[in-house]
Amino acid sequence: MDSIATTAAAAFESQSAGVAARRQEFGLTERRAALARLAAAIRHNEAPLVTALAADFGKPEAEVILTELLPVMQEIRHASRHLRRWMRPRRVAPTLATLGTSARIRPEPRGVCLIIAPWNYPFSLALGPLVSALAAGNSAIIKPSEMTPATSALIAKLVQETFPPSLVTVIEGGVDASQALLELPFDHIFFTGSPAVGKVVMAAASRTLASVTLELGGKSPTIIGPDADLENAAKWIVFGKFANAGQTCIAPDHVFVHRAVKDGFLAVLRNRIAKAYGTAGTSPHLARIVNDRHAQRLSDLLQDAVGKGAQVTMDSPSQGRDLGPTLIEALTPEMDISSEEIFGPILPIIAYDNIDEVIDQINARPKPLALYVFAKARPQIDRIIAATSSGSVGVNLTVAQFTHTGLPFGGVNTSGIGAAHGEYGFRAFSHERAVLTNHFSALPLVFPPYTARVKRLIGLIKRFLG
């Protein structure tokens, strides 16, 4: 067995040995204390976090605080405030067939959990799920992304200084580390990444029948109606699309804009991009692409589209991993960019005349992680929502649904399985155990032997219950 597999197996065995004890000893007080330690560690490491993410892909400090630090701190605060209620067994009313019994649902820890984090938000998407895992009473092994090495090392240091390895530990490494971990019989696997790798994770989980939460992605469409507030739409789309240089799973992937307002929208969109990021090329307010391979992938997508007739209507001086906001039009289905998730600062603009055509195009593709609608007419908004399917919907805003701890965050089919955040994250890492207690149940009256009297009782019950 090689070194990484040995390390992974040892970490798993250490946590597995404590499962029974944690079920009895890791209660409300202990879970809140663990969350408080995590919050203190994050506050203490704020400056190193900013430095690490700048080293990995040039994230501006303000963006680090907004998109990496605050979401995790908000999850901790929300979980700590509501944990007593989440942990409390829920009473369930008896059915006619179970009169004389009492029923409860007990949320219990699943056990040892694996969190495989992505590179695009390497801190918040590693520690956000950890909050839910700890709140639900589990231990966890975190596999951060090797594509953001400075942040990965910081996560490992922070966890080592904050928790015993029997509760939380970090396994660093590349694909070999992920493969070694996926060979182990975890009780739950929480994966954030691409649909292609999500299938690999789900196949691995099937070998031990581990439960999974998969946060994937897809091409999240944005629709701008003829009555939309164009200034508001431009502000939200520019932020949602170009934050993190477009490397966001719920970023607007492409924009359908009604032909009647297309020119006006493009004018305010260009102005908003210039105001946010300037016109001189590299901006201190714009992150870099994570590595040369992904930068080349984006360049290839753009060249393929232009070679097949797309028109670049706005671009910025770009060099290497520093790619500026780019707007393109005249897309056709045979272009790679029409089917691949862009995951970068390239925004296709697609004019439409009839909303039915847009709905048909959305429904012809895999279900997206998010759908955005900018419009004023409520019937039109409701019609679009009712006629499509997506993990979430943003109306007259983008990406903010991720920050709402009262909403489930997750996809549907190819964009994800299960939900996270707040109580939904707690439930994802919990087993809801049914407990039924007998007090004076009449069911023994119909137990065998099936005499004539018992059969008459069963006949009466059948007639009564339908």
For position 319, what pLDDT does the model report?
A: 78
For position 361, what pLDDT does the model report?
A: 97
Q: Which domain holds residue 254?
A: 221-410
Candidates 63, 75, 249, 341; catalytic one: 249
With CA atoms as reference, report the closest residue to 122 among 72, 84, 87, 79.
72
Whether pLDDT at 283 is above 80: yes
Please report whether residue 466 resides in a domain.
no
Verify whether residue 215 is a known catalytic residue: yes
Helix, strand, or coil (residue 165) = coil
| pLDDT category of residue 281 using cuts at 50, 70 and 90 | low
Report the CATH number at residue 368. Answer: 3.40.309.10
Q: Do 144 and 239 fall within a single domain? A: no
- Work out the average pLDDT over 13-41: 96
C-alpha distances out from residue 345 to 17, 87, 269, 277, 302, Å: 47, 42, 14, 12, 11
Whether pLDDT at 1 is above 50: no
Please report whether residue 438 resides in a domain.
no
Q: Do 293 and 377 fall within a single domain? A: yes
- Residues 211-224 pLDDT 10s: 999 999 999 999 99
Please report whether residue 462 resides in a domain.
no
The two beta strands, 254-258 and 346-352, are parallel
For position 2, what pLDDT does the model report?
A: 78
Question: What's the predicted TM-score (pTM) here?
Answer: 0.95
Please report whether residue 443 resides in a domain.
no
Q: Do 192 and 300 fall within a single domain? A: no
Alpha helices for 138-192 (secondary structure H): 149-162, 175-182
Q: Do 303 and 159 fall within a single domain? A: no
> Which DSSP string do the residues of 51-96 spell out, in sequence order?
HHHHHHH---HHHHIIIIIHHHHHHHHHHHHHHHHHHSPEEEPPPG
- Residues 40-63 pLDDT 10s: 999 999 999 999 999 999 999 999
Separation CA 268–CA 327 (nearest Å) = 13
Candidates 215, 231, 329, 341; catalytic one: 215
Please report whether residue 460 resides in a domain.
no
| pLDDT category of residue 314 using cuts at 50, 70 and 90 | confident
Report the CATH number at residue 85. Answer: 3.40.605.10
Q: What's the mean per-residue pLDDT of the chain?
A: 96
Q: Do 21 and 101 fall within a single domain? A: yes
Verify whether residue 113 is a known catalytic residue: no
| pLDDT category of residue 280 using cuts at 50, 70 and 90 | low
For position 282, what pLDDT does the model report?
A: 74
Task: Please count the structural domains in the chain.
Answer: 2
